Amino acid sequence: MTGHTAIPFLREVVIFLVASGIVAPVFHRLRASPVLGYLIVGGLIGPHGLGLLADHLGWLSHVVITDVEGVRPLAKLGVIFLLFTIGLELSFKRLWAMRRFVFGLGTLQVAVSALVIGAVAWGWGHSLQTCVILGTCLSLSSTAIVMQLLTEWRRLGTPLGRCSLSILLFQDLAVVPILFLLGVFGVRIEGDFTSVWLSLVLALVQAAAVIGAISLVGRLTLRPLFRLVSHAESPEMFVAAILLVVIAASAITGMAGLSPELGAFLAGLFLAGTEFSHEIEVDIEPFKGLLLGLFFMSVGMGIDYRVIADQAFWITASVAGLFIVKSFVAGGLCLAFGLPRHVSLEAGLLLGQAGEFAFVVVGLAMSLDLMPWDTSQFMLIVASLSMLVTPLVAAAGQRLGAVLKGEHELKRYARGLDAAEELEDHVIIAGFGRVGQMLGRILSREGVPFLAIDMNGPAIDEHRRKGLSVFYGDASRVEMLRRNHADVASAVVVTMDDWEASERLVHNARRRWPELPIFARARDQRHAKQLLTLGATDVVPETLEGSLHLSLRVLSGIGMPEEVSLELVDIERQAASEELQGGSSGSETT
């Protein structure tokens, strides 16, 4: 009898899910960053933490992870999904507007940081080759940690978020020449200099061609693909299409020798200006959050605390020195580019750590025998610890920034609002059928901004061609309402044909935003009472208004004076409203 095939890394995945289910709620209650929690728990349950006792305590082997390399590929998907969502937040127009910071500030940050770090390494007696490798890889910061912290603080749209993102984007682009540089060093060891620089130029041209090809294919195919999927009205197919696009784009750039994260970022960028961007971001969030948690835990697992104990002073001094160098360089350059003092200070401290790419470069340098083994191990621990303390350093940067700028401005940033780019006091129309469209026309005539959410793909295409702000998605989900800035909306109007979805929407919105006015269209009196019970501010039953309008026509048709007809209809409308309000109050009491 053939045995069942075991699921690879099942135990590790279960341990991670259990740990993540504990870490996020606990650190949220402590008002601390979950990133810090993942890093700490990763070190605790990793091979250098409780894993050291697994051989002596057999039962412990079931609750620790000893094979970090086995889960790293899965963990890297978290960074890929993060870059995809960053692309969704941008557009080519916004990216072009940021070109001065991406290619100016980003280039200088990498170059100056690499020179200073390399010079420090040279002063400690390392070879020129080792200094170049350490300078280039440590000049890069952790995209995953920095962007996750900015997302938690809801500061992606602020000057801090924009300048940090600009620097990180250029750092992702710098990965390519750094890898080429390692390849040149590797060839140099073998003693073959033939066509090295020609190969380097050809590889750069190939990279540019790959990016161009992805851009062309993305522009031509992504929007039609999601239109086709949305017409099926299948949430499962929609999520499957998202995963296909993210993984395919990452695989293409990875096979071309580029960063897989760059491919995911490009895919998100192409979808940023479409009607599907909000729904995609909501659907991808759980995958991104879980896999990023696994990535942070894998970083924590790589820290060998025994080595830290043996060289505590020099490791601590190196981590502090790395933050000091990179913070001064990044902060000083931000000041030179005209950013305020408090933004420059926060950006410098936020970007002061080493990045994920340091593990790749140092590991590759070890395999090519380009760097002494003890130096490599030392720098890997320094890089890991710098990422571990980033949430604490960034929090200190926030407090120092508050001193420079003032508490009022800090609270404004904490809301995540950028008045130049975010809507405020707008109306959210949930369901853009005949009723929603009529309301939209009325609001447009009065100059009231509105956003509409609907699930009808073909209709959305037509509305967006007319320049209307209509997005594809399930409006009954809190995440979708939050993505459309329900926290600063003047009202939500529910005009959906799906009665159960409308009830979920009212319930979720009232629970999340108690003060938000919610107006709803109901099927009949019974449905209207239910919506009022769930928290709707006001409800209009379709059958009631249809009956009243017909009654008005009949009264006018039989010769009754118009003012008398209107008064009779108003009396009936008021009676129905009082009955409705009384019924909902009774339901609540019951």
Q: What is the pLDDT along the chain (590 residues), one digit of tens a residue?
A: 455 555 666 777 777 777 777 776 777 677 666 777 777 788 788 787 777 777 677 677 777 777 676 677 777 777 788 778 777 866 676 667 778 888 889 999 999 999 999 999 999 888 888 898 899 989 999 887 888 788 777 777 678 888 888 898 888 777 767 766 776 666 544 444 445 556 656 666 777 787 788 778 888 888 888 888 888 878 888 888 888 988 888 888 878 767 777 788 888 888 877 778 878 888 887 777 777 777 777 777 777 777 777 888 898 999 999 999 999 999 999 999 888 888 899 999 999 999 877 877 776 677 667 888 888 878 888 888 898 889 889 989 888 887 776 544 444 444 433 333 446 678 899 989 888 888 888 888 777 888 899 888 778 878 888 888 888 888 888 888 888 888 888 889 998 888 888 888 999 899 889 888 999 888 877 888 888 888 888 888 876 666 666 666 676 767 777 776 677 767 776 776 666 665 554 444 33
Q: Choose one of 380, 414, 448: the last residue of a domain.
A: 414
Query: Which domain covers residue 471, as residue numbers?
Result: 427-589
For position 329, what pLDDT does the model report?
94
Asked if residue 465 belongs to a domain, the reply is yes
For CA atoms 242, 248, 253, 259, give the dihedral sign: positive
Report the number of distinct structural domains present in the chain. 2
Q: Are residues 144 and 176 in the same domain?
A: yes
Tokens at 377, concatenated = 């191990």
Q: Are residues 350 and 409 in the same domain?
A: yes
Asked if residue 71 belongs to a domain, the reply is yes
Residue 141: name the closest of 390, 485, 483 by CA. Answer: 390
Asked if residue 2 belongs to a domain, the reply is no
Residue 8 DSSP code: T
Q: Are residues 360 and 403 in the same domain?
A: yes
Q: Are residues 258 and 320 in the same domain?
A: yes
For position 193, what pLDDT does the model report?
46
Q: Are residues 324 and 442 in the same domain?
A: no
Number of C-alpha atoms within 13 angstroms, CB side, residue 197? 0
Give dist(CA 100, CA 94) in Å, integer: 12
Identity of the residue numbered 533: T
CATH number at residue 250: 1.20.1530.20
Asked if residue 3 belongs to a domain, the reply is no
Give dist(CA 180, CA 196) in Å, integer: 10
Asked if residue 420 belongs to a domain, the reply is no
The CA-based angle 439-423-266, given to 5 degrees, is: 110
Q: Tokens 């890089």: give the residue.
A: 383
Is residue 125 helix, strand or coil? coil
The phi and psi torsions of 368 (rounded to 5 degrees) equal: -90, 5
Cα 387 from chain centroid?
A: 19
Instruction: Give burial (CB, 10 Å; 0-12/13-18/19+) of 184.
Output: middle
Q: Are residues 388 and 474 in the same domain?
A: no
What angle do the packed helices 143-153 and 341-350 form, to 10 degrees?
Answer: 130
Q: Are residues 402 and 477 in the same domain?
A: no
pTM here?
0.62
For CA atoms 571, 572, 574, 579, give the dihedral sign: positive
Number of C-alpha atoms within 13 angstroms, CB side, residue 212? 6
Q: What is the spatial order of strands in the sheet that 450-454 belongs to?
A: 470-472, 450-454, 427-430, 491-494, 518-522, 538-541
Residue 501: CB atoms within 10 A of its CB come to: 18
Residue ranges in 337-433 assigned as alpha helix (H): 341-350, 357-367, 373-388, 390-405, 407-414
Asked if residue 462 belongs to a domain, the reply is yes
Residue 174: name the closest of 129, 112, 107 by CA. Answer: 107
Asked if residue 355 belongs to a domain, the reply is yes
Q: Are residues 437 and 477 in the same domain?
A: yes
For position 589, what pLDDT does the model report?
37
Which residues on adjacent β-strands are paired with residue 429?
A: 452, 493
Q: Choose one of 392, 414, 436: the last residue of a domain.
A: 414
Q: Are residues 410 and 432 in the same domain?
A: no
Q: Choose one of 386, 414, 442: the last residue of a domain.
A: 414
For position 139, what pLDDT does the model report?
93
Is residue 449 helix, strand or coil? coil
CATH number at residue 482: 3.40.50.720
Give dist(CA 390, CA 292) in Å, integer: 16
Asked if residue 419 belongs to a domain, the reply is no
Phi-psi label, residue 64: left if phi above 0, alpha if psi -120 to 50, beta otherwise: beta
Q: What is the CA radius of gyration of the chain?
A: 29
Q: Are residues 500 and 582 in the same domain?
A: yes
Q: Are residues 441 and 323 in the same domain?
A: no
Give dist(CA 455, CA 430) in Å, integer: 10
Q: Are residues 267 and 349 in the same domain?
A: yes
